[in-house]
Chain A
Amino acid sequence: QLQLQESGPGLVTPSETLSLTCAVSGGSISSYYWNWIRQAPGKGLEWIGHVFHIGTTSYNPSLKSRVSISVDTSRNLFSLRVMSVTAADTAVYYCARGGSSSGWYRLDHWGQGALVTVSS
């Protein structure tokens, strides 16, 4: 059974960098797309970006200038960095697996989510 688990600080200071890791267990990180999605309190889902197992990335244009996603296949995990955070970046951050090939935007496995609060 594939499982994803987010980890990282729950509190980040404004203007600093938010860093989260998603550990993948019960399956290989190879051959799939690995996504970060966030949900601000009381709001809908916002796609942040994804990384393919070989390291190629794609980002939401609204966040592209501040976001970086990377993958570590040797450790079966992938990571998110959001730079210069503000209170508007406060959200639950989810990692999720996208399908392979033409199903890359079908998000079939999700982590439980990690609440990140941006505050001084």
Chain B
Amino acid sequence: SSELTQDPSVSVALGQTVSLTCRGDSLRNYDAHWYQQKPGQAPLLVFSGKNRRPSGIPDRISGSTSGNTATLTITGAQAEDEADYYCNSRDSSSDHVIFGGGTKLTVL
């Protein structure tokens, strides 16, 4: 089965740009989606596929994919961006949903 790999933790200075990565073979053929989860809250879809930002998500959050790596970029990180971020996609050979292990983003 397919797997998605994320860095466990990343930090960024307030106002700077940070990129979170998600790696997996299934991303060569299928979209990655990104979720933000703050403590005690449900995950929230913040970026989808190659260029789809849900309504209400600030445009400082963007995404891209190259080869087997999907990247979520936050330009000008704010304190409220501090959260856990998960990527997900689908298994290459079945109709299973897969998640990355998540990245804890700290805004310094």
List A residues at the B interface (Cβ < 8 Å). 35, 37, 44-47, 50, 58, 60-61, 94, 96, 98, 103-108, 110-113
Contacts and interface: CB of A to CB of B under 8 A. Distances in A.
B43 A60 contact: no
B42 A110 contact: yes
B86 A108 contact: no
A113 B42 contact: yes
B61 interface: no
A110 B102 contact: no
A105 B30 CA distance: 10
Given A58-B96, A61-B1, A107-B88, A45 B43 contact: yes
B65 interface: no
Interface residues of B, number: 26
Interface of B: 1, 30-31, 33, 35, 41-45, 48-49, 54, 86, 88-90, 94-102
Contacts of B49: 106
Contacts of A104: 90, 95
A107 B33 contact: yes
B36 to A, nearest CB: 11
A17 to B, nearest CB: 23
Q: Is the interface of A mostly helix, strand, loop or mixed?
A: strand
- Closest 9 A-B residue pairs measured CB to CB? A47-B97, A110-B42, A105-B90, A44-B102, A45-B99, A58-B95, A105-B97, A44-B101, A106-B33
Contacts of B54: 108
A107 B43 CA distance: 9
Nearest to A62: B1
Contacts of B33: 105-107
Contacts of B102: 44-45
Nearest to B40: A113
Most chain-A CB neighbours within 10 Å: which of B30, B31, B35, B95?
Answer: B95
A1 B95 CA distance: 28
Contact of A106 (B42, B45, B94, B98): B45
B31 to A, nearest CB: 7
